[in-house]
Chain A
Amino acid sequence: MAYPYVSDREVRVLSRYFGDPMARRVDTYVERGGYQAAKKAFEMGPDAVIEEVKSSGLRGRGGAGFPTGVKWSFMPKEPTRPHYLLCNADESEPGTFKDRELIRWDPHQLIEGVLIGAFAIRAKQAYIYCRGEFFETTQVLARALEDAYAKGYVGKNIQGSGVDIDITVHLGGGAYICGEETALMNSLEGRRGTPRVKPPFPAAVGAFGMPTTINNVETLAAVPHIVNNGGAWYRQWGTEKSSGTKLFCVSGHVNKPGNYELPLGFPLMDLINDVCGGVRDGNKLKAVIPGGSSVPILTAAECDCALSYEGVQEAGSMLGCASVIVMDETADIVKQVRRMVQFYAHESCGQCTPCREGTAWMTRILRRIEDGRGAEEDLDTLVEMSRQMTGTTICVLSDSAGAPVVSSINKFKDEYLALIRRGERVGVA
């Protein structure tokens, strides 16, 4: 079962037990073969685990798509100081709602992934940083973790292997930017969640000044399956550059929104039309944001692409965390872009000037345009600002704010111009 809808085109590896409340129980998890991958990993040794994950081609599912095994291999091989594994469960990218589902339906799958990841990078302590709003979600996780501790699957001498790994659930305080890995580290340390300048990279100087690896929930949840079945098995799905399955979070104007686990490379139009039951009310498709609010918008014409890291890039956008936001002909592009930019202005940490001032300024300009008080020069200003906000800051939040602005001005200029010239909303059915 997937959740809340099912499609027979899915390949359900991570999401297999979505919608099955019993999957939260440690006994059920173990009966279904759980915690065997951890045991196997401990026997393989860290380097073999890293090699296996490398061979699977698994790429980070948090948005950047960096190969997970390679990331792990950056960690020192001979630990002289504590290492930390941080699991990024600060899911806040608009359009993304997979990590919460992964945690609340199958918490042990994540715990096992965290154990293997921590073992691979030679960490004895892992933190699962959950966004602060996930009260009930973390309650499920904390309960599962407590059970796992009680049964000896986490803690000292796990399953008699001699391996010690502690896991702690940490709750954030409400800040999108803490999903950025260095901001997450600052936040975990009890600081303002501002991103850090890199270098130094986390594998050298991370949380508490120690070598640290940060992985997304979905990434770590995939690891037990890879260890159990081998990297080659995982590669049976997906493309050469984008292997395996991926949870696609589909929201917006489709008949059946939800999480669907599909092989990477799956056609976007099939996702919308087959898997999700088509555009809502039989309306016409207008635009799709394929990877969460931070990526360029695709027009309906550009949606004939494959949902792989490279496929979406060829189409002119990014896969991000595969959060597909579908807009039908009723969608008001200017309003939605303003809403997204307003979000970035609200979430900007405020340390870098282009982002702190630029996101807020953009919001005001877009609001003015929306209210019919815009000028055509505003569009030039917005495009130029976006350029000056791209690549000029410590993290990519301000780049993200610029992406929907520039792409929508390029692709839906008519809607902007109609508002500016006549105070009319056009293209909004």
Chain B
Amino acid sequence: MSEIPFKNPGWAGNTGEFDLTEEQVRGDDLVGKRPVDGGHPSGAASYPYMVADRNPDATLFEGPYRERFEKILSRYPDKQAALLPTLGLAQEIRGHVSPESMDRVAELLELSPAYVRGVATFYTMYNKQAVGRHLIQVCTNVSCNLCGADEVLEAFLRYNDVEPGETTEDGNFTVIEAECLAACGFPTCVQINSRYYENVTPTDVPGIIEALRSGKAGER
């Protein structure tokens, strides 16, 4: 579990009138552990993740990833429908979706590379360029904004001394402004890789960054 020393262990666990531990909210026991091979085929397409450990030069879809890819394919009437999850899978492995990844995905799914590029660029979650190990996305949309999201974004940028979209020199952090993350009741919501951090205030920022830097943030 996370050792992040701030009030919110994630998912608004100890805000409001509830007294839940992070273990109860997002522990393996009650959430499940992410199977690299995708687990049951019904959920295989739901596991592409944004993870910190990635290798931009990895061969795509080998070993358990290949198994997951095959499981994803098995759930759709045609290959094209597997495109979004497959792009997500490529990103989980390599950290971003490079032209070469698009080409490979196109080949596997029997699509034209230009088509795959068109689809990949439509969606915001496929990083077209390499990003930091931790991609910090701060929601600044209306509900969060009313509660000070601009200051939270500013705090992340200032603490890391970067401009929006820029990656820190050590390659650890990229900070961007995000659109609504559907956690409006827990402002400000910040998504860092796969995880939502809720009720984030500017004073929480150093703690989050340092925990991430020291690897104590508890990534899945």
A residues less than 8 Å from B39 (CB atoms):
142, 146
User: B57 near A: Cβ within 8 Å?
Assistant: no
Which one of A21, A134, A325, A335 contacts B20 once the chains associate, using CB atoms below 8 Å? A21
B185/A19 in contact, CB under 8 A: no
Segment of A182-190, A264-272, A309-317, A409-417 engaged in the interface with chain B = A182-190
- What separation, in Å, do the CA atoms of A295 and B142 have in the docked complex? 13
A170/B180 in contact, CB under 8 A: no
What is the distance, in angstroms, from B187's C-beta to the closest C-beta of chain A?
7
A94/B141 in contact, CB under 8 A: yes
A174/B20 in contact, CB under 8 A: no
- What separation, in Å, do the CA atoms of A173 and B24 have in the docked complex? 28
What is the distance, in angstroms, from B18's C-beta to the closest C-beta of chain A?
5
A133/B42 in contact, CB under 8 A: no
User: B169 near A: Cβ within 8 Å?
Assistant: no
A174/B125 in contact, CB under 8 A: yes
Q: Tell me how many residue pairs across A and B have CB atoms closer than 8 Å.
A: 230
A169/B43 in contact, CB under 8 A: yes
User: By DSSP majority rule, is chain A's interface helix, strand, loop, or mixed?
Assistant: mixed
B194/A256 in contact, CB under 8 A: no
A residues less than 8 Å from B142 (CB atoms):
94-95, 252, 289, 293, 325, 336, 339-340, 343
User: B126 near A: Cβ within 8 Å?
Assistant: yes
- B50 closest partner in A (C-beta): A135
A346/B179 in contact, CB under 8 A: yes
User: A331 near B: Cβ within 8 Å?
Assistant: yes
User: B87 near A: Cβ within 8 Å?
Assistant: yes
User: A201 near B: Cβ within 8 Å?
Assistant: no
B residues less than 8 Å from A258 (CB atoms):
16, 185
User: A262 near B: Cβ within 8 Å?
Assistant: no
A143/B145 in contact, CB under 8 A: no
User: A397 near B: Cβ within 8 Å?
Assistant: no
Residues 120 to 140 of chain A near chain B (Cβ within 8 Å): 130-136, 138-140
Which one of A21, A133, A190, A208 contacts B82 once the chains associate, using CB atoms below 8 Å? A190
A residues less than 8 Å from B77 (CB atoms):
82, 208
Which one of A134, A145, A188, A250 contacts B81 once the chains associate, using CB atoms below 8 Å? A188
Segment of A32-40, A66-74, A97-105, A224-232 engaged in the interface with chain B = A97-105
14 further A-B pairs in the complex, CB-CB below 8 A; given A94-B180, A251-B187: A96-B184, A133-B191, A136-B31, A136-B220, A145-B40, A146-B42, A172-B125, A175-B122, A193-B123, A249-B184, A289-B142, A323-B184, A325-B142, A343-B141
- What separation, in Å, do the CA atoms of A149 and B145 have in the docked complex? 41
Residues 86 to 125 of chain B near chain A (Cβ within 8 Å): 87-88, 109, 111, 118-120, 122-125
> A21-B24, A168-B45, A325-B143 are known contacts. Are A4 and B185 too (CB-CB below 8 A)?
yes
Q: List 23 A-B contacts (CB under 8 A).
A: A21-B20, A95-B143, A95-B184, A96-B182, A132-B84, A132-B88, A133-B182, A135-B220, A139-B31, A139-B32, A139-B46, A146-B39, A170-B84, A172-B84, A173-B87, A175-B123, A189-B81, A190-B84, A191-B119, A252-B143, A256-B16, A293-B141, A343-B180
B81/A149 in contact, CB under 8 A: no
- B43 closest partner in A (C-beta): A142
B residues less than 8 Å from A221 (CB atoms):
none
B123/A173 in contact, CB under 8 A: yes
B143/A173 in contact, CB under 8 A: no
A residues bordering B, Cβ < 8 Å? 1, 3-6, 19, 21-22, 24-25, 82, 91-97, 99-100, 104, 130-136, 138-143, 145-146, 149, 154, 166-176, 187-193, 208, 249-253, 256-259, 289, 293, 323, 325, 327, 331, 335-336, 339-340, 343, 346-347, 349
Q: Which 7 A-B pairs have the closest CB atoms?
A: A4-B16, A142-B43, A173-B123, A143-B32, A190-B83, A174-B125, A251-B143
- A260 closest partner in B (C-beta): B185
- What separation, in Å, do the CA atoms of A104 and B31 have in the docked complex? 9
A residues less than 8 Å from B184 (CB atoms):
94-97, 249, 251-252, 257, 323, 325
Residues 1 to 47 of chain B near chain A (Cβ within 8 Å): 11-12, 15-18, 20, 24-26, 30-32, 34, 39-43, 45-47
Which one of A82, A168, A175 contacts B75 once the chains associate, using CB atoms below 8 Å? A168
User: B168 near A: Cβ within 8 Å?
Assistant: no
B122/A193 in contact, CB under 8 A: yes
A174/B123 in contact, CB under 8 A: yes
A253/B46 in contact, CB under 8 A: no
What is the distance, in angstroms, from A183's C-beta to the closest C-beta of chain B?
10
A residues less than 8 Å from B32 (CB atoms):
139-140, 142-143, 146
A140/B31 in contact, CB under 8 A: yes
B residues less than 8 Å from A257 (CB atoms):
184-187
> A136-B220, A339-B140 are known contacts. Are A4 and B15 too (CB-CB below 8 A)?
yes
B40/A146 in contact, CB under 8 A: yes
A residues less than 8 Å from B65 (CB atoms):
none
- What separation, in Å, do the CA atoms of A347 and B141 have in the docked complex? 12
- What separation, in Å, do the CA atoms of A136 and B220 have in the docked complex? 9
A residues less than 8 Å from B164 (CB atoms):
none
B179/A176 in contact, CB under 8 A: yes
User: B181 near A: Cβ within 8 Å?
Assistant: yes
B187/A339 in contact, CB under 8 A: no
- What separation, in Å, do the CA atoms of A132 and B46 have in the docked complex? 8
What is the distance, in angstroms, from B82's C-beta to the closest C-beta of chain A?
7
What is the distance, in angstroms, from B197's C-beta to the closest C-beta of chain A?
11
- What separation, in Å, do the CA atoms of A235 and B210 have in the docked complex? 52
What is the distance, in angstroms, from B169's C-beta to the closest C-beta of chain A?
27
> A97-B184, A139-B32 are known contacts. Are A171 and B85 too (CB-CB below 8 A)?
yes
B18/A3 in contact, CB under 8 A: yes
- What separation, in Å, do the CA atoms of A340 and B142 have in the docked complex? 6
> A6-B17, A173-B84, A193-B122 are known contacts. Are A141 and B182 too (CB-CB below 8 A)?
no
